[in-house]
Structure 1
Amino acid sequence: MHKPLLVTDFLDRARRHYGEEEAVVATTGERFTYDEFGDRVDRFSAVLRDRGVEKGDRVAVLDPNTHYHLEAAYGSMQLGAVHTPLNYRLTSEDFAYILEDAGVDAIYADHAYAEKIEAIREDVPTSTFVTNDADAVDGEWEAFDEIIEGVDPDVERPEMSEDDVITINYTSGTTGDPKGVMRTHRTETLHAYLVSIHQEIADDDVYLWTLPMFHVNGWGHIYAVTGMGATHVCSRGVDAGWIFDTVVEEDVSYLCGAPTVLNRLVDHYDTEDPATTGANDVRIATAGSAPPEATIRTVEEEFGWYLTHVYGATETGPLITTSDARRHFDDDSADRFAIKKRQGLGYLGTDVRVVDEDGEDVPRDDATIGEVVVRGNQVMEGYWNKPEATEAAFSERIEGYYHTGDLATVDEHGMIAIQDRKKDIIISGGENISSIELEDALFDHEAVSDVAVVPAPSDEWGETPQAFVVPDDDVDDPDALESDLVEYTREALASYKAVRSVTFVEALPTTATGKVQKYELRAELWEDEDRMVGQG
């Protein structure tokens, strides 16, 4: 029997079985049951319909993690319109490019970010502008809560196919103009199923939104958490103290956080010693880059939370691997931290390989480096209006696999460990150096709060490792610390891997999801060079 896989099924199921249960804890203090949440979604669908939005049209959503984002997303998708979430850290110029590229037909924007859209209003191909607080926004904007009042919520859905594109997620643009990643009902649905299984999401979970909803639809959690009938706790930003308070007050059982978020939590815990759990045990998923073992140790042994390291990319769903391989480690053994730092094993139904330049699998020796390629039902349909880029993404080393651009090794169990991005690997005097290995070593130094390592040009070696370090507040002598860090890495690792220079900064440039934008650091170092690679 064949039943189409549609993203609208997730909210339908929650309303059918959990209508009177709490669905959303809003940032405004309001609380909505699934019946109430669903009714607001229906009304927003009706509003869009009345303004001419149809199946296949694109509806942009610019919003932090509020209930409006969830309502706008499902309200669009019920019409078969394409949910197009936007990264709220971008500039007006960025939005102008994306909105024109996507050809959006309507925009919902939170009042705190609507001015960025207002600035380019004449360049945007739509006349439908909706916000949550029209009085706080210049220009002609409609207020979400006002326009859904008095609207007939009975909206007839169009016929939809599981192969229809239902979301476009734009890449973070760290290497050029953002590309629109097309995802279908089928890819979104199967990815949400996989998340529900591997992240063990249940109907009694209380999920705290610290991960941006715009980021590949919050790693698919706008679907998985909803479909399971669990509770969404919304937020307007990431503050370590607020996170701990909310975990306790709302009995949060599950959240996600990039390593930078984990670092903030650890720093706050070290200084404030907050309570870390409410009535529920807490699970946390992290991704973006490998967290240091010391961070994982603190999260699990001090916070009492269970950490899972997952991995993927916007183009892959995103999630394709997990470190949660409990038959390969003992929960009471310190050895588990080294395993949890790995990106891990492929998700169910996901073919994850590490291949050499000829497309052949590298040996499982945990030493030979190759590129991570993946094939699975959660992988994107392609890039919006970019067939050549789509072809290149699936064909460089091996045909039919998405090429992640990440370099990794594979151990005896088939668990991968990312060593670097292809563009970030440091080749010094003919030797490959992993920036991640260096970063992990530097993270263990008590004076280092955050760090990123990139290649710097060298007349002698072609490239040498350069560290950008955010020092702890109590560092008095940066010059002495630089010498100390250089020697520290020389003692911790093979001498050729040691950093040669350290630049101290107040903060590292990051995307909204906490991924360090190394290309900015590289550009700073290589601006006087003819090319961005050394001749080592």
Structure 2
Amino acid sequence: MQKPLVVTEFLDRARKYYGDQEAVVATTGERYSYDELAERADRFSAALQEKGIGKGDRVAVLDPNTHYHLEAAYGAMQIGAVHTPLNYRLIPEDYEYILSDAGVDVIVADYDFAEKVEAIRDEVPTETFITNDADAVDGDWESFDDLLAEAGTDYERPEMAEDEIITINYTSGTTGDPKGVCRTHRTETLHAYLVTMYHEITDDDVYLWTLPMFHVNGWGHIYAVTGAGAKHICTRGIDAGEIVDTITSEDVSFLCAAPTVLNQLIDYYNENDEPPMTGDNDVRVTTAGSAPPEATIRDVEDDFGWYLKHLYGATETGPLITISDAKRRINEETRFDIKKRQGMGVHGTDVRVVDEDGNDVPRDDQTIGEIVVRGNQVMDRYWNKPEETEAAFNDRVEGYYHMGDLATVDENGMVAIQDRKKDIIISGGENISSLELEDTLFDHPDVSDVAIIPSPSDEWGETPKAFVVPETGDPENPGVTEEELQEFTSERLARYKIVRRFEFVAELPTTATGKVQKYELREQEWDDEDRMVGQG
């Protein structure tokens, strides 16, 4: 017997078995049961259908982890519309590209971010603009709550197939324009099953939303936590004090946090007389983006009393493809080495590290190859980008998604990233394109040439650094200051992409054909580090 795997099953299950149980604690203090959450989603489904939105239409959500995101996502997906979450850290020009590329019909934007969409609304095909606080937003925006109040709960749910696209997640545009990662009902469902298994999610969990919901649908937690009948604790951003207070007051049992967030919590703990870091529940935390250093693991597990897991993946892969949680191999002697690794492949996932000829590298923890992966949680394709899709799946090995990360494999098959093949920087869990930063700085009249590489950062793991050849040709008298160049990037890029480190040089190292050898710059910059990727 075969039952189609569709994402609407997660909320349906929660409503069926946990309808009277608390589902969501809102940022504004309201508390909703699963019956109430589901009713609000139903009303949004009905409101969308009244506006002519149906199966296959795109509904974008720009929201900082409030209950509105959950309601909008499920409300859209229940009518077969494609959930398109947006990174709230972007700038208006980024939204113009994404909304146009995806052909978004409806956008639901939090009042804090609606102005970024309002700035480009005349340039995009979107016709319906909805916000959670219309009085706080300039322009013609409809109220989410008013729409729900006016709509009934009746809507028509179309028949859906598991191989149909149900969400599009946009990458950070690390190799050109952002790419829309198309994920089907099947990929989302099977990934959520993996998340439930490896994060050990059960119905008595209390999940704190410190991880952005826009990140591959919150790493699948909008499905996994809901389907388990567990509780969502919503947030409006990262504030260490609020996180600690919420963990203790709401008895949080599980959260996800990039190493930079863990470091903020460690600083808060040390600066505030070591406050309690748990409520009545034990706390589990999963980190990703860059490997946590030993000091972070020690602080989180030994001082906070939490249990830490480290996962690895990408927008294209769900993200979960490997995890470091090998309990049968972890002891006090091996704990830090194992938990810093990206780890072993999860169920149903073929993770390999291959050389340039597509052959598996030996398990000697020395030989470097590229990570490639095949699994049910891997994306279907890039939206309207067949050539990029073909390249992503067929570079070294046919039929495998190529991660762009260079790694070794130890005797137990556990992967450890050593360097990156892609020209990207991962800072605080966000991917940043070196090429985009270089293009921006090239526009400055006092910059003759520039190369951007990742530089080690205790706070962010790694941060962009620019090696600049000034127009004067003299690094001692460049004719422009570092502060002026930083301001130049801040006016043109999202805040997390701003270049804050500069070094003026007379020339950049190049090959005989004139190609910049960034590898030399990276070796120089990472000389005192174990790996040429950020940790922390």
TM range (shorter): 0.7 to 0.9
Deviation of the 1:172 alpha carbon = 1.6
Matches within 5 A, 1:450-469: 452=462
Give the letter aligned to residue 21 of structure 1.
Q
* Change over 3 Å in CA distance of 1:59–1:457 after alignment to 2: closer
Other-structure match for 2:70: 70
Q: Is the 8 A contact 2:466 2:499 kept in 1?
A: no
1:398 and 2:382 aligned: no
Q: Which runs of 5+ in 1 are unaligned?
A: 427-434, 460-504
Give the letter aligned to residue 281 of structure 1.
D
Give the letter aligned to residue 302 of structure 1.
D
Other-structure match for 1:173: 173
Deviation of the 1:150 alpha carbon = 3.4
* Change over 3 Å in CA distance of 1:82–1:458 after alignment to 2: closer
Other-structure match for 1:142: 142
In 1: Cα distance, 2:169 partner to 2:460 partner: 29
Deviation of the 1:126 alpha carbon = 2.2
1:321 and 2:319 aligned: no
Other-structure match for 1:257: 257
Q: Is the 8 A contact 1:456 1:526 kept in 2?
A: no
In 1: Cα distance, 2:424 partner to 2:99 partner: 34
1:292 and 2:258 aligned: no
* CA deviation string 1:159-195 (max 9, x = no partner): 1000000000000223321100000000000000000
> Over aligned residues, Cα RMSD in angstroms?
2.7
Other-structure match for 2:36: 36
Other-structure match for 2:217: 217
Deviation of the 1:526 alpha carbon = 8.5
Deviation of the 1:334 alpha carbon = 4.3
In 2: Cα distance, 1:535 partner to 1:304 partner: 40
* CA deviation string 1:347-384 (max 9, x = no partner): 10000000000000000000111000000000000100
Q: Is the 8 A contact 2:260 2:459 kept in 1?
A: no
Task: Compare 378-387 and 267-276 and name the one that shifted more.
Answer: 267-276
- SS of 2:72's equivalent? helix
In 2: Cα distance, 1:292 partner to 1:409 partner: 18
Deviation of the 1:403 alpha carbon = 0.1
Matches within 5 A, 1:431-510: 439=456, 449=459, 452=462
1:418 and 2:417 aligned: yes
Other-structure match for 2:340: 341
Give the letter aligned to residue 517 of structure 2.
V
In 1: Cα distance, 2:357 partner to 2:213 partner: 38
Other-structure match for 1:248: 248
Other-structure match for 1:282: 283
Q: Is the 8 A contact 2:162 2:184 kept in 1?
A: yes
Runs of 4+ in structure 1 displaced over 3 angstroms? 423-426, 448-451, 453-459, 519-532
Deviation of the 1:124 alpha carbon = 1.7
Give the letter aligned to residue 2 of structure 1.
Q
In 2: Cα distance, 1:394 partner to 1:364 partner: 24
- SS of 1:319's equivalent? coil
Q: Is the 8 A contact 2:465 2:499 kept in 1?
A: no
Other-structure match for 1:12: 12
In 2: Cα distance, 1:7 partner to 1:451 partner: 34
Q: Is the 8 A contact 2:180 2:382 kept in 1?
A: yes
Matches within 5 A, 1:85-104: 85-104=85-104
In 1: Cα distance, 2:141 partner to 2:333 partner: 55
In 2: Cα distance, 1:526 partner to 1:73 partner: 49
Give the letter aligned to residue 106 of structure 2.
A
Deviation of the 1:524 alpha carbon = 7.3
Deviation of the 1:295 alpha carbon = 0.4
Q: Is the 8 A contact 1:410 1:416 kept in 2?
A: yes
Deviation of the 1:452 alpha carbon = 2.7
- SS of 2:245's equivalent? helix
Deviation of the 1:533 alpha carbon = 2.0
In 1: Cα distance, 2:287 partner to 2:464 partner: 22
Deviation of the 1:29 alpha carbon = 0.3
Other-structure match for 1:479: none
1:47 and 2:47 aligned: yes
1:380 and 2:379 aligned: yes
TM-score, normalised relative to structure 2: 0.83
Give the letter aligned to residue 320 of structure 1.
I
In 2: Cα distance, 1:7 partner to 1:319 partner: 17
Q: Is the 8 A contact 1:424 1:454 kept in 2?
A: no
TM-score, normalised relative to structure 1: 0.83
* CA deviation string 1:506-534 (max 9, x = no partner): 9x99xx999x86x9579977996464425
* Change over 3 Å in CA distance of 1:526–1:322 after alignment to 2: farther
In 2: Cα distance, 1:458 partner to 1:93 partner: 26
Q: Which runs of 5+ in 2 are unaligned?
A: 426-452, 470-485, 509-513, 521-536
- SS of 1:148's equivalent? helix
Deviation of the 1:458 alpha carbon = 12
* CA deviation string 1:131-170 (max 9, x = no partner): 0000001111110111111322111201100000000000
* Change over 3 Å in CA distance of 1:128–1:449 after alignment to 2: closer
In 2: Cα distance, 1:45 partner to 1:247 partner: 33
Other-structure match for 1:408: 407
Q: Is the 8 A contact 1:58 1:104 kept in 2?
A: yes
Other-structure match for 2:428: none
* Change over 3 Å in CA distance of 1:2–1:521 after alignment to 2: farther
1:106 and 2:106 aligned: yes
Deviation of the 1:454 alpha carbon = 7.5
Give the letter aligned to residue 392 of structure 1.
A
Other-structure match for 2:353: 354
Give the letter aligned to residue 357 of structure 2.
D
Q: Is the 8 A contact 2:99 2:126 kept in 1?
A: no
* Change over 3 Å in CA distance of 1:93–1:455 after alignment to 2: closer
1:84 and 2:94 aligned: no
* CA deviation string 1:407-438 (max 9, x = no partner): 11000110000112114699xxxxxxxx99x9
Deviation of the 1:235 alpha carbon = 0.2
* Change over 3 Å in CA distance of 1:258–1:525 after alignment to 2: farther
* Change over 3 Å in CA distance of 1:294–1:376 after alignment to 2: same
In the alignment, which of 513, 517, 524 is matched to residue 533 of structure 1?
517
- SS of 2:150's equivalent? coil
* Change over 3 Å in CA distance of 1:7–1:513 after alignment to 2: farther
In 1: Cα distance, 2:105 partner to 2:54 partner: 9
Deviation of the 1:457 alpha carbon = 7.1
Aligned length: 468
Give the letter aligned to residue 129 of structure 1.
F
- SS of 1:224's equivalent? helix
Q: Is the 8 A contact 1:11 1:226 kept in 2?
A: yes
Q: Is the 8 A contact 1:208 1:255 kept in 2?
A: yes
* Change over 3 Å in CA distance of 1:311–1:149 after alignment to 2: same
Deviation of the 1:200 alpha carbon = 0.2
Other-structure match for 2:304: 303
Other-structure match for 2:477: none
Other-structure match for 2:388: 389
Give the letter aligned to residue 352 of structure 1.
V
In 2: Cα distance, 1:296 partner to 1:190 partner: 29
Q: Is the 8 A contact 1:215 1:513 kept in 2?
A: no
Deviation of the 1:206 alpha carbon = 0.1
In 2: Cα distance, 1:219 partner to 1:184 partner: 15
